[in-house]
Structures are given as structure tokens and as C-alpha cells.
Amino acid sequence: MTQNPESLPTINHELCISCGSCVAVCPDNILETDTSGRIVIVAVKCMQCGHCYAVCPVEAVSTPFLENGLNLVSIPGLHTDGGAEVSTGALVHMMQQRRSCRIFTADPVDVSLLEDLVKVGTTAPSGTNSQGWKFVLLPRREDVIELGTITADYYRRLNKKAANPALRFMVRLFGNDALGHYFRTYYQSIEEGLREWQENGADRLFHGAPAAIVVAGDTSSSCPAEDALLASQNILLVAHSLGMGTCLIGFVVEAAKRDRSINVALGLDINQKIYSVIAVGYPGIEFVRPAGRKPVSLKIARLGQEQMRRS
């Protein structure tokens, strides 16, 4: 693949000390030290990860095709270079304390804060550095309600189908018990949620959140789902660190897999898929200690030894 020279890093040879750090970290091997000791670009397939810029001790590498620095507007307490000290203890404590918030105050979330959350989200790794994520912000409660209404319409139709025993039987005949599984697992609670939504506006979907962030991805990226979910986790954590509440809303993601009208309403293209929907706001309740976790399931593998035993 040939690449426009403007999308490749450049080296300022007046600054470069030829330490070779950029050569060592480049995953595409586009940099080399030539016979005279100069760092040169030798290939043109660059994934634009920015590692050469990030590792250079003398700022001799430029990557003008990337934005360096998050340029946050509403998140306080950060240096522009991101250089705030965080102890491991503080980080782990924050991870432990984050909870899915299902009780929100009515306080709105400033759109610039939502934008900052998303910018922090994009510090996540992405497959082949594609950064193919697409974010849709819903800063107004009425838009969150509208997304909830479209989603509720989908589940109303699905519940109608699932309530039909003949249809469940027919679908199972074709070796697919998805409708039966849905009926047994979700039908009843969804039916209740839909009734409450209709009768008294109780919002069991978005839990009354005043805002939401939809994280979609370009399906032509190498790992769009993983990229979107890693960015989402960043968003959850930084929002928590700011005293905000978040909750992933998988019910909307599931509905969007089968009902294109959700993507259309959000202005997403045909090649963009929704991987997470995050309810965002301020918590109406405080958790005073971390929730426990199930015992970790892990094992230690020694594959080399296993192979030796087999041979």
C-alpha cells in the first residue's frame, strides 16, 4: 500500500540524536538507522500509531497527521501534556468503586464534558490502530427518551412475536431456539418495563439518565467491537473519577442489531455498527464500598511443557 508522504512521520535531523528509540518501537518497521547513523524512513506503510513521536527524547519526530494532546475543555486538573501522577492504588481503587448507575439526578451534563469523555475514550488501544470508532452524543434528556421510545417499539414487536407459541415452535423447527430463549429469559421483565414506560413513564431502560453516549464503529475496521468497548470502559472510568454516573445499556445495542431505525435515528451510516450505549449523568445514590466479585476463574498454562509431553 502506498501512503501519502504527508501521512508519514518526519524527522528533524537537527534535533535527532540517532538514539534509535523510534526505530525500536515502530510496529511497521518504517524507520531505520542508515549507514551514516541517520534515522530515515524506509517504508511507506505506517499505521500512524504515533509511537515514534511518543518515544523520542528530543522531540525530533513529528506526526502532524495526529492530534497530540487531548485538548480537554471541561475536565479539570489535567496538564495539557496529560502528565498527572496517578498512584496504582488510586487507580485500582477507582476501578473498584465504579458502579453501574441506575439512579440519576435530573442534572444535565454539559455537552463539552461529554466531548471530553469521548476524547479520553479514544486513548484506548484499537486494532491495527484503526481508531474507527464513531461517537454519537445525546446531551438532551428528550433525545435519550426518543432513543428509548424507538428501542421500546422494537421490544414491543419482539415480545408480540415471542408470545406466539406457534411461532416459537416454528422457529425451533429450523434449529433456532433464540425466540424461545428470549421468551423464557426476558419476555416477562420486558413486558413489565414496557407497561411501566407506557403507563407512568418509568424509565427502566435508561434509568432516567439525562444524557447518553453511543459508541459505534466502522465495520471495515479490523476489530470494531473490541475498539468500541475499550473506549467505552475508558469513558466509564473517567466519568466515575469525575463523580459522574454511567451505565452500559445493552438492550439498545441488541435492538440496534436487528432494527436499522435506531442507526438511522442516530445518523449512523450503513457501515457503522453500535457496540455500546452509555447512560450518563450524575448519581442519585452513593455507593459506600465496592461491590464484591465472583471468585476469579483462572488457570496457569505452561504450553511449552504440554507440547513436550505430547511429542
Ligand X SMILES: Cc1cc2nc3c(=O)[nH]c(=O)nc-3n(C[C@H](O)[C@H](O)[C@H](O)COP(=O)(O)O)c2cc1C
**Binding residues for ligand X, per CB under 6 A?**
99-100, 102, 247-251, 291
Smallest gap from Cβ 254 to ligand X, in A, equals 8
Closest by Cα among 154, 255, 149, 284 to 206: 149
CB-nearer residue toward ligand X: 9 or 208: 208
What is the per-residue burial (b if ≥16 Cβ within 10 Å, else e) of 278-305?
A: bbbbbbeeeeeeeeeeeeeeeeeeeeee
Q: Which is nearer to ligand X, 39 or 228 (CB)?
A: 228
Q: How far is the CB of 18 from ligand X (least distance, A)?
A: 47
Closest approach of ligand X to the CB of residue 101, in Å: 8
Which residue is listed with cell 419476555? 187
Q: Which is nearer to ligand X, 178 or 285 (CB)?
A: 285
Decide whether 102 or 156 has the Cβ nearer to ligand X. Answer: 102
* Cα–Cα dist 40/274, whole Å: 41
- CB closer to ligand X out of 30 and 158: 158
Q: Residue 308 CB, nearest distance to ligand X (Å)?
A: 39
Pick 165 or 290: Cβ nearer ligand X: 290
Distance CA 297, CA 311 (A): 29
CB of 156 to ligand X, least distance (A): 17
Minimal distance, residue 191 CB to ligand X, in Å:
16
- Report whether 300 contacts 240 (CB < 8 A): no
* H-run or E-run covering 159: helix 141-162
Question: What is the DSSP secondary-structure string of 205-266?
Answer: TTTT-SEEEEEEEETTSSSHHHHHHHHHHHHHHHHHHTT-EEEE-HHHHHHHHH-HHHHHHT
Distance of closest approach, residue 251 Cβ to ligand X, in angstroms:
4
Rounded Cα distance, 69 and 51, in Å: 14
Count CA atoms closer than 13 A to 290's CA, side-chain side. 10
Residue 22 or 144 with smaller CB distance to ligand X? 144
**CB-count exposure of residue 220 (10 Å: 0-12, 13-18, 19+):** exposed
